[in-house]
């Protein structure tokens, strides 16, 4: 089992909060496609013939590409890799890109899942975030996608925004749950260095939401999701009728994946690779045959820490059987000792030999996981 991630770095404009690698130089799209196909050819053996169960086109804004271009990318994947017939093929999309005509053409490609970056249904929030769409477009695009035949639709929302009230956040959630979607990803705003949001925070133009309010909005998210039959299966992800994001779930279960495109990461269980985060350098490297990625070999302790980082954030947690079979009894004994204070505080629970975060623990998960990492002394 394996997955493929394709980073399409093009955006029509830059959002205020985004720190993913992107460029507004759409004129480079043909050269990017050529370089991407060259990378596919060079790295077709990376996954050692494993069956591809998921393909994820992320970015950037993949929906700035025409359905014809998306189809060509996926057809090349199907030519070079053994893709499962029932593979999950996800396209990230912006609401203002996916018009009825676009969706009709896209439905003729292998794409069978849409992840729509809505972020908010409030026009004032969208202006703050520097999103290109309106709240009305967000609503309409989901309805259009469903009527075009896409029955596996995920939407993204952001909470903890400066000035976002509890009433506004609840309206966002209610609106999302009334739509024909089966998956929700909801993230707390982060002020990444190099973004307009980070600059605004430093200059005092923006004020960070206090922790108490952030916790309240997160608890509201979890509560409203449960009311609407959306199961929380990961800290920030909720699914209806077990329509989990198979691609992301594979990440959390440490399955191997190949990352294609500038800034994309790859993982095969024992090493990690990351491509140049520069479109021009990526294209030139693929054209000239020179190196276009860096890599690191993961020690057993690195692999253990990755296991903690990815698995604890899910509903499946960290099982005694899983740890011992992969890392040995000593690592499980280490975890039993390290989790003891967190179990006393009620932020980790143990049941049937499995450690899981409690709802209170999920909001402080980064701190918990950092304390559970195994470091050399």
% pLDDT > 90, the chain: 97
Pair 245, 305 in one domain: no
Domain co-membership, 316 together with 234: no
**Distances from the Cα of 123 to the Cα of 13, 118, 163, 195, 266, angstroms:** 17, 11, 13, 21, 37
Residue among 148, 68, 132, 48 nearest 96 (CA): 132
Looking at 251, 272, 287, which one is the last position of a domain? 251
Of 264, 223, 364, 248, the C-alpha closest to 314 is: 248
- Domain-embedded: residue 275: no
Do 30 and 149 have their domain in common? Answer: yes
| CA pair distance 15, 4, nearest whole angstrom | 26
Same domain, 74 and 178: yes
Mean pLDDT of 316-329: 96
pLDDT of amino acid 1: 83
Q: How far does CA 35 lie from the centroid of its chain?
A: 24
Measured CA to CA, the distance from residue 355 to residue 203 in angstroms comes to 42
Q: Is residue 65 part of a domain?
A: yes
CA atoms of 214 and 233, how far apart (whole Å): 20
Same-domain pairing of 7 and 92: yes
DSSP 299: P
Average pLDDT over residues 22-26: 96
Residue 170 pLDDT > 80: yes
Last residue of a domain, one of 211, 229, 251: 251
* Extended strands (E) in 201-345: 230-234, 237-240, 257-260, 265-267, 271-275, 293-297, 318-319
Question: Domain check: are 198 and 330 in the same one?
Answer: no
In a domain, 292, yes or no: no
Instruction: Tell me the C-alpha to C-alpha distance, in Å, between residue 180 and each of 146, 147, 155.
Output: 7, 10, 10
Which pLDDT score, from 0 to 100, does residue 290 have? Answer: 87
Q: What is the pLDDT of residues 191-217, one digit of tens each?
A: 999 999 999 999 999 999 999 999 999
Domain count, the chain: 2
CATH code, domain with 318: 1.10.10
Answer whether residue 377 is part of any domain.
Answer: no
Tell whether 72 and 168 lie within a shared domain: yes
The CATH number given to whatever domain includes residue 83 is: 3.20.20.70
Whole-angstrom distance, CA of residue 292 vs CA of residue 283: 9
CA 311 to chain centre: 15
331 and 222, same structural domain?
no
Name which of 146, 168, 147 is nearest 159 in CA terms: 168
Which pLDDT tens digit goes with each residue over 262-300? Answer: 999 999 999 999 999 999 999 999 999 889 999 999 999
Same domain, yes or no: 242 and 322: no
* CB < 8 Å & 24+ apart, contacts of 366-371: 368/312, 368/342, 369/308, 369/309, 369/312, 369/313, 371/338, 371/342
Whether 156 contacts 117, CB under 8 Å: yes
- Please tell me whether residues 177 and 80 are part of one structural domain: yes
Whether 333 is covered by a domain: the verdict is yes
Mean model confidence pLDDT for the chain = 96
**Which DSSP category does 95 fall into?**
T
Is residue 108 one of the residues assigned to a domain?
yes
Q: What is the pLDDT of residue 377?
A: 55
Q: Does any domain span residue 289? A: no
Structural domain ending residue among the three candidates 182, 217, 251: 251
Tell me, yes or no, whether 324 lies in a domain: yes
Per 3-state DSSP, what percentage of the chain is helix, strand, and coil (rounded to 5)? Answer: 45, 25, 35
Range of the domain at 230: 2-251
Please, which pLDDT band fits residue 375 given cuts at 50, 70 and 90? confident
SS3 for 110-159 is CCCEEEEEEECCCHHHHHHHCCCCCHHHHHHHHHHHHHCCCCCEEEEEEE
Average pLDDT over residues 106-129: 96
For the stretch 235-255, pLDDT in tens is 999 999 999 999 999 999 999
Q: Tell whether 208 and 318 lie within a shared domain.
A: no
Write down the pLDDT at residue 258.
98
Residue 65 has pLDDT above 80, yes or no: yes
Same domain, 191 and 113: yes
């Amino acid at each position: 089992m394996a997955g493929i991630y394709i980073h399409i770095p093009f955006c029509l404009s830059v959002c205020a909060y985004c720190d993913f690698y992107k460029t507004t130089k759409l004129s480079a799209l043909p050269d990017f496609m050529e370089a991407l196909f060259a990378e596919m050819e060079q790295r077709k053996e990376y996954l050692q013939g494993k069956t591809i169960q998921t393909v994820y086109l992320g970015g950037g804004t993949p929906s700035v590409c025409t359905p014809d271009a998306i189809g060509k990318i996926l057809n090349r994947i199907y030519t070079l890799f053994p893709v499962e017939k029932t593979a999950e093929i996800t396209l990230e999309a912006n609401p203002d890109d996916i018009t009825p005509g676009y969706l009709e053409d896209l439905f003729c490609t292998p794409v069978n899942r849409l992840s729509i970056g809505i972020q908010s249904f409030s026009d004032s929030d969208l202006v703050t975030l520097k999103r290109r769409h309106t709240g009305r477009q967000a609503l309409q695009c989901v309805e259009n996608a469903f009527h075009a035949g896409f029955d596996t639709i995920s939407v993204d929302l952001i909470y903890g925004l400066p000035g976002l009230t509890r009433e506004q956040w609840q309206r966002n959630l209610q609106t999302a749950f009334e739509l024909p979607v089966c998956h929700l990803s909801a993230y707390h705003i982060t002020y990444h260095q190099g973004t307009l949001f980070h600059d605004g925070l430093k200059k005092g133009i923006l004020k960070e939401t206090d922790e108490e309010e952030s916790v309240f909005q997160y608890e509201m998210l979890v509560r409203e999701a449960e009311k609407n039959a959306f199961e929380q299966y990961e800290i920030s992800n909720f699914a209806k009728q077990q329509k989990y994001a198979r691609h992301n779930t594979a990440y959390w279960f440490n399955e191997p994946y190949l990352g294609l495109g500038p800034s994309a990461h790859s993982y095969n269980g024992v090493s990690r690779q990351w491509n140049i985060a520069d479109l021009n350098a990526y294209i030139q490297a693929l054209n000239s045959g020179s190196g276009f990625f860096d890599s690191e070999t993961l020690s057993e302790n690195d692999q253990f820490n990755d296991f903690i980082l990815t698995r604890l954030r899910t509903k499946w947690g960290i099982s005694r059987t899983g740890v011992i079979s992969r890392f040995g009894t000593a690592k499980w004994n280490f975890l039993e000792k390290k989790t003891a204070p967190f179990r006393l505080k009620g932020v980790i629970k143990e049941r049937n030999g499995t450690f899981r975060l409690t709802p209170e623990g999920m909001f402080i998960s980064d701190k918990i996981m950092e304390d559970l990492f195994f470091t050399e002394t």
